[in-house]
Amino acid sequence: MWTTFSNQDLSLQPSQLHVWSVCKSDHENRLQEYWDILNEAEKERALTFRFLKDRYCFIIARGVLRNLLGAYIQMAPDQVKFQFGHNGKPYVHHPSQIKFNISHSGDTILLGFVQKHSIGIDVEYTKRKVDVKKIAELFFAEEEVTSLFRLDQAYHTQAFYNCWTRKEAFIKAVGSGLSFPLDQFVVSLDSTKEATLIDTKWDKKEKDKWMLNTIEPGKDYIGAVSVKGNVSDIQSWRYQ
């Protein structure tokens, strides 16, 4: 269930996870406004994108991130200072211990915010032509490949994206990027069942510390969010 919301002061309780969905094309008329709040490094990075669609996506995503963080931590959006982990995961140092992550695909940008806990979010446009079998065998754990091909073929694409986004959300929460071994953890992928981290092979108890959730930003998109810790109240907003 999505609620529409614009910029105001926002508050995030320790038990809450806030997920924001942005329709990129709805925000292209605000590019200048977002551009004006980016710092010099972000502007330089924006100009390195060869395709305008990618440049606009970066500017809008970073602009909305600055606006939302500014509203959560009561700071002017252009004053927010990002730091970056070893593998490029952005974060902010702030007493509120706010944590966030972003993903973009096609016309959709997803942003997730929690307090304290590690968070990863992913969204994928599902109408791209992909070789499900080849990619699954290359990237998924053996148990996931088996579960996928046990399903009726009509459900393969949906289950494939469930698995992809859940795995990606998990490694984005960990923050280690491509260096994380994708066969070392197993996620559920059947749409009729809850999103779950089924196995963490290096430590069987690790999986119990995590929450995985499906995000449905709109037709032809599948998303997932992963949080290390307890969040009982998930709120979904559409950023206008």
Among 90, 91, 156, 190, binds ligand COA (CB under 6 A): 90
User: Is 91:82 a contact under the CB 8 Å cutoff?
Assistant: yes
Among 172, 195, 217, 236, binds ligand COA (CB under 6 A): 172
Among 61, 80, 145, 211, binds ligand COA (CB under 6 A): 61
Q: In angstroms, give the least distance from the CB of 27 to ligand COA.
A: 14
Which residues, 6+ apart, have CB-to-CB distance to 32 below 8 Å?
A: none
Q: What's the half-sphere exposure (Cβ side, CA atoms, 13 Å) at 38?
A: 22
Label residue 6 exposed, middle or buried (CB < 10 Å: 0-12, 13-18, 19+).
Answer: exposed
Among 52, 76, 154, 178, binds ligand COA (CB under 6 A): 178
Residue 103 is a binding residue for ligand COA (CB under 6 A) = yes
Type of residue numbered 115: Q
Residue 89 is a binding residue for ligand COA (CB under 6 A) = yes
Residue 139 is a binding residue for ligand COA (CB under 6 A) = yes
What residue spans of the chain are helical by DSSP H?
Answer: 31-37, 40-48, 52-73, 132-139, 142-150, 156-174
Residue 164 is a binding residue for ligand COA (CB under 6 A) = yes
Q: In angstroms, give the least distance from the CB of 118 to ligand COA.
A: 9
Residues near ligand COA (CB under 6 A), total: 21
Pull the structure tokens for residue 193: 């069942």
Residues that bind ligand COA (CB under 6 A): 58, 61, 87-90, 101-104, 120, 122, 139, 164, 167-168, 172, 175, 177-178, 182
